[in-house]
């Protein structure tokens, strides 16, 4: 049975996590006495903490690198390498919770060199959707947002592209897109409304897909030293 962590309350923000702005700029230092260290993007912090909570994965510690590294993908692999080298002696296993994320295969090559596992998939949009399903869709004209990116739209999209100062650039950046696809990890009407407003600002058709946590749950379960507590890990998907 899959535990539902997608409804408000069950999937709500964890109180001891910093605010999104801090996860964007500073990340999250590891804490606890776990045997496995998850090194992740700050944009995945809330999802990973919630998955650990509902599945009883209390022997996993989480370290998050600043989410803003996604605006400079050439910095991701060096930052991951530094984190692995600094922390790995204190853990039995290190798992890297990043997809390729624009590194052009550089992160996978690094993880191979270091002997650590990482998430499968080109980016979080793929593993949230499910890598096989995302690849089968083959969407070329969709612009994607996750829960985190809906909340952080100004900092990750609008301002870095200069649209706050030059809205006339919208057509240059988004003229070849047809839709904004909001991949929802949680059932939150406020986030849905906010995502729809982002689509309107970009002049794109809006589509919402509830993905839950997709392949992320099973990837983390695979990094465990023992079987998942209580059987199958929670994926965040609602049962039919």
- Listed by start position, the domains of the chain span 20-122+213-222, 127-210
> In this predicted model, what pLDDT tens digit does every residue of 74-121 receive, in sequence order?
999 999 999 999 999 999 999 999 999 999 999 999 999 999 999 999
pTM: 0.85
Domain range 20-122+213-222, its CATH number among 2.40.50, 1.25.40, 3.40.50, 1.10.3720: 3.40.50
Query: 145 φ, ψ to 5°?
Result: -135, 145
Q: Which tokens sit at 5?
A: 């962590």
Q: Partners of 144 in the beta sheet?
A: 181
> In this predicted model, what pLDDT tens digit does every residue of 128-157 receive, in sequence order?
999 999 999 999 999 999 999 999 999 999
pLDDT at 99: 94
Q: Which tokens sit at 138?
A: 């083959």
* CA neighbor of 120 nearest in space, from 97, 104, 138: 97
Q: Is 33 helix (H, G, I), strand (E, B) or coil?
A: coil
Q: Binning pLDDT at 50, 70 and 90, where does residue 224 land?
A: low
> In this predicted model, what pLDDT tens digit does every residue of 10-27 receive, in sequence order?
433 344 789 999 999 999
Angle between helices 106-114 and 76-87 (to 10 degrees): 20
Is the pLDDT score of 199 beyond 80? Answer: yes
Is the pLDDT score of 238 beyond 80? Answer: no
Q: Which tokens sit at 222?
A: 């695979």
Q: Give the whole-angstrom CA distance, residue 91 versus residue 224.
A: 12
Determine which of 9-23, 34-48, 68-82, 163-177 has the lowest per-residue pLDDT on average.
Answer: 9-23
Share of the chain above pLDDT 90, in %: 82
DSSP class of residue 28? B
Share of the chain above pLDDT 70, in %: 86
Q: Give the whole-angstrom CA distance, residue 65 versus residue 76.
A: 9
**CA-to-CA dists, residue 80 to 103, 107, 109, 118, angstroms:** 12, 8, 12, 11
Sheet holding 93-97, edge to edge: 60-65, 36-41, 93-97, 117-118
pLDDT at 223: 83
Is the pLDDT score of 237 beyond 90? Answer: no
Question: Which residue, chain included where needed, has tokens 């700029």?
Answer: 25
pLDDT at 105: 96
- Cα 219-221-223 angle, rounded to 5 deg: 75
């Amino acid at each position: 049975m899959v535990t539902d962590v997608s409804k408000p309350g069950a999937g709500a923000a964890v109180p001891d996590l910093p605010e999104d702005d801090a996860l964007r700029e500073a990340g999250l230092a590891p804490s606890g006495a776990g045997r496995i260290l998850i090194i992740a993007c700050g944009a995945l912090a809330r999802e990973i903490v919630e998955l650990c909570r509902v599945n009883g994965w209390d022997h996993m510690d989480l370290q998050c690198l600043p989410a803003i590294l996604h605006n400079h993908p050439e910095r991701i692999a060096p930052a991951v390498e530094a984190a692995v080298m600094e922390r790995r002696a204190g853990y039995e296993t290190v798992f890297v919770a990043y997809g390729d994320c624009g590194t052009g295969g550089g992160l996978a090559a690094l993880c191979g060199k270091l002997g650590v596992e990482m998430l499968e998939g080109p980016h979080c949009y793929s593993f949230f959707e499910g890598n096989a399903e995302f690849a089968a869709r083959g969407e070329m004209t969709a612009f994607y947002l996750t829960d985190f990116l809906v909340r952080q739209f100004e900092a990750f999209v609008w301002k870095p592209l200069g649209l706050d100062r030059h809205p006339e650039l919208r057509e240059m950046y988004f003229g070849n897109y047809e839709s904004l696809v909001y991949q929802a990890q949680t059932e939150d009407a406020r986030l849905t409304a906010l995502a729809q407003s982002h689509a309107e600002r970009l002049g794109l058709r809006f589509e919402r897909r509830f993905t839950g946590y997709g392949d992320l749950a099973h990837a983390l379960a695979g990094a465990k030293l023992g079987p998942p507590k209580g059987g199958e890990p929670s994926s965040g998907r609602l049962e039919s």
